[in-house]
Amino acid sequence: MHRIMFVCHGNICRSTMAEFVMKDLVKRAGRESEFFIASSATSREEIGNDTHPGTQRVLAAHGVARTPRAAVQLRAADYDAYDLFVGMDAANVRNMRRMLGGDPANKVYKLLEFSEGSTADTASDVADPWYTGDFETTYDDVLRGCESLLAFLR
């Protein structure tokens, strides 16, 4: 089983979008039993809040199912429970490594590393709709990254 934790700053926009998009992709591929997918935040700012309304709208527009949820924070104990930690940008990756106590098993990645064949240092960041209000561009980045991640895990 592949255990994946998507991570962003607040766990209400990008990481939740990636969680639901990846769940949709594995369901459509008939591979649900092979995956456990979750998401979390590096900050405490949005803990307990549901998915951002803009993320909810773009997921619905693309036919991606979602369930109500509450934002949670990444914990050091998560490192042993997951195979991959997938951040949305360089700041997420830095914070994840700090919060997880390092990355001795090389489990921490940036989402667009999978689609660009690059490293966390050179891969593009997933567009952050918190600042741009452009949830559609974020969806495009997330879909491209998740499709590539699924192909990588075949």
Looking at the annotation, which residues are catalytic?
Answer: 8, 14, 128
Q: Could you tell me which of 106, 108, 110 has the C-alpha nearest to residue 142? A: 110
* Helix or strand run (H / E) with residue 3: strand 2-8
Q: Could you write out the DSSP letters of every residue in 89-152?
A: SHHHHHHHHHHHT--TT--EEETTHHHHT--TTTSPPPP-HHHH--HHHHHHHHHHHHHHHHHH
Q: Rounded CA gap, 121 and 80, in Å?
A: 24
Q: Which residues fall within 8 angstroms of residue 90, CB to CB, at 6 or more apart?
A: 110, 120, 121, 125
